[in-house]
Structure 1
Amino acid sequence: MLGVGGFKTAHPGFLTLLSAPKTPLGSRPRQKVAVKRPFYKKYPPGSSKNPINFSIGRYTISDELPKLFREANVLYWARALLTFAYEYIDHCVANSSETPPFHIPRLRFVEAGLALSHDHAQPGHKSKSMTMPRAGYLVEELITDDFIKYIHNMDCNPMLDPYEVGYEIAAFLACTQHIQYAKTGGLAFISDYQGGFEILSDPQVLTHPLVNNGKDVFGDGNIERAVSTFEKEHNCNKYCKWSGFKLKIYEAAKRGTETETDSAQDALE
């Protein structure tokens, strides 16, 4: 097993498609992939819900498929939002009289697809298409880098400290949240940024309660409160503050600057 997350388990696998696409996923035979499947935690009878003492429970196919389709939908929209942020960044850089005083990391989300496992056709069945799927899986490109959690689902700031490996990427991704939030009119941004140094996986899209008339479209990880409080919680960093991006500096960053100034003055006194 590659790992256990809050909602899915990840397993190593191989993928061979009969007709190889041009996309990275399935472009060669026996490609190493990550095979993910939703689960729920099963606790021993009469025991408390210890965060460690549980076993993996699997959903029925009727419950599993909607969860997988929702995961794929989240990934689809996260890819669109990240692409949108990069298009805005590239536009600003191309039209600025000054070169950004920092390197812009280039990341993308994994290529992925849904796979269904079917039982063999029973005697008397004329076609295998008549069999019902017995399990579903989300198949993704395998991330071979060290897996890093850049931004937590309930936060809009880096999880990493400035001295830790990956901090610059985390700070940049926090800026993409700022861009997504600002340019969607405060309606949505990507959270739960995690993955390698070039490829990301398992995102969450957070939306304002106004989106879809308040009906959740992105699953249990969609913490709407995080969108409503973004301007109070987000701390603008050097990427956000570059004048070429023309982003509003939110109050959290201003309060942080004031606090740092006050602390410095106190130290001098």
Structure 2
Amino acid sequence: MAPGGFQGFTCELADAARGSLVLESSKWLGIGTFKTASPGYLTLMHLGTDGLGRQPNKPVAVKRMYVRRAMPTEANPNGWAINRLTAPDEYRKTLMEANILLWADSIMDLTYSFIHHFIENSAQPPPLEIPKVCFVRAGVAVVHRQITGPVTASTSTLCRTYLIEELINEQKDGFYKFMNNGSAVPLPSMNESVSALAEFLSFTQHVQYHKTKALIYLSDLQGTLKLSTDPQIMTAP
């Protein structure tokens, strides 16, 4: 827990798990509005029993924050380039993204608790199978540089910060956009399973908005039929 009672990723160096991250920086899994994603391989010095560090050379999605810098050309007047953030800003914004995933997971747990409670107190079982959706397991990788000269109290070794996520196999499981930020209406799809899940996720938004007393709900929902990534937490419809 961080100062002030905040619960979430804080990345205290003393509590960090040490390891290595091999990044295939020349390959892209995708480029979003705020983050790039590349394939990588994670190995922790002490393998964990849960999460991403259970095996060496674990394939992962390595995401890094960026801002768009305008770079117009004659051929493309709307051209732009990737501009990386300063180390402190990148660290702060990556932790924010990690905490969104953490809280999204808790909000979805709240949703399923509501559903299961309703089913347990109903005389009849539901007329359809309830989809089971969860968010990717994730962590924050902080890269520090080695200092060879004099060290002072103000010396910072922070170099880069990455958001490490469970890798989604798009070729095997597909990748779909179910809901965006601008509307509670599910996005249309020719795939019956995708449409059914999109409608279910729209229903979960209503549950979240109701159970949190109109405070928050999850949006920008995307991923496979079982695994979601890159959610947003909305505070107003």
Pair in the same fold by TM > 0.5: yes
Q: CA deviation at 1:66?
A: 1.3
Q: CA deviation at 1:165?
A: 4.8
Check whether the contact 2:146–2:157 (CA below 8 A) recurs between aligned residues: no
Check whether the contact 1:181–1:187 (CA below 8 A) recurs between aligned residues: yes
Q: Of the candidates 2, 9, 16, which is equivalent to residue 43 of structure 2?
A: 16
Look up the match of 1:146.
Answer: 174
Q: Which amino acid aligns with 2:87?
A: I
Look up the match of 1:173.
Answer: 201
Q: Give the match's secondary structure for 1:28.
A: coil
Look up the match of 2:229.
Answer: 201
Residue-by-residue CA offset, 1:67-90 (whole Å, 9 max, x unaligned):
111111111111110000001111
Check whether the contact 1:43–1:49 (CA below 8 A) recurs between aligned residues: no
Identical-residue share of aligned pairs (%): 39
Look up the match of 1:31.
Answer: 58
Look up the match of 2:212.
Answer: 184
With 130-139 and 53-62 compared, the bigger mean Cα shift is at 130-139
Q: Give the match's secondary structure for 1:114.
A: strand
RMSD between superposed Cα atoms in Å:
2.0
TM-score normalised by structure 1 residue count: 0.71
Distance in 2, Cα, partners of 1:199 & 1:49:
37
Q: CA deviation at 1:112?
A: 0.7
Say which structure is richer in helix: 1
Q: CA deviation at 1:46?
A: 8.2
- Report which of the two structures shows the higher radius of gyration computed on alpha carbons: 1
Q: Which amino acid aligns with 1:21?
A: G
Residue 63 (1) aligns with residue 86 (2)? no
Q: CA deviation at 1:157?
A: 2.0
Distance in 1, Cα, partners of 2:114 & 2:37:
33
Q: Give the match's secondary structure for 2:52.
A: coil
Q: CA deviation at 1:149?
A: 0.9
Distance in 1, Cα, partners of 2:77 & 2:203:
37
Residue-by-residue CA offset, 1:20-67 (whole Å, 9 max, x unaligned):
2222311111110000011111112688972xx211110001211111
Distance in 2, Cα, partners of 1:59 & 1:201:
22
Look up the match of 2:159.
Answer: 134
Check whether the contact 1:156–1:174 (CA below 8 A) recurs between aligned residues: yes
Check whether the contact 1:191–1:206 (CA below 8 A) recurs between aligned residues: yes
Q: Give the match's secondary structure for 2:49.
A: coil
Q: CA deviation at 1:119?
A: 1.7
Q: CA deviation at 1:170?
A: 0.9
Check whether the contact 2:94–2:161 (CA below 8 A) recurs between aligned residues: yes
Check whether the contact 1:42–1:54 (CA below 8 A) recurs between aligned residues: yes
Q: Of the candidates 53, 68, 80, which is equivalent to residue 106 of structure 2?
A: 80
Distance in 1, Cα, partners of 2:90 & 2:232:
18
Check whether the contact 1:23–1:111 (CA below 8 A) recurs between aligned residues: no
Check whether the contact 2:72–2:80 (CA below 8 A) recurs between aligned residues: no
Q: Of the candidates 140, 144, 150, which is equivalent to residue 114 of structure 1?
A: 140
Q: CA deviation at 1:94?
A: 1.4
Distance in 2, Cα, partners of 1:95 & 1:22:
36
Check whether the contact 1:120–1:131 (CA below 8 A) recurs between aligned residues: no
Q: Give the match's secondary structure for 1:16.
A: strand
Q: How many pairs were matched up? A: 204
Residue-by-residue CA offset, 1:170-201 (whole Å, 9 max, x unaligned):
11111111110111111111001111121111
Say which structure is richer in strand: 2
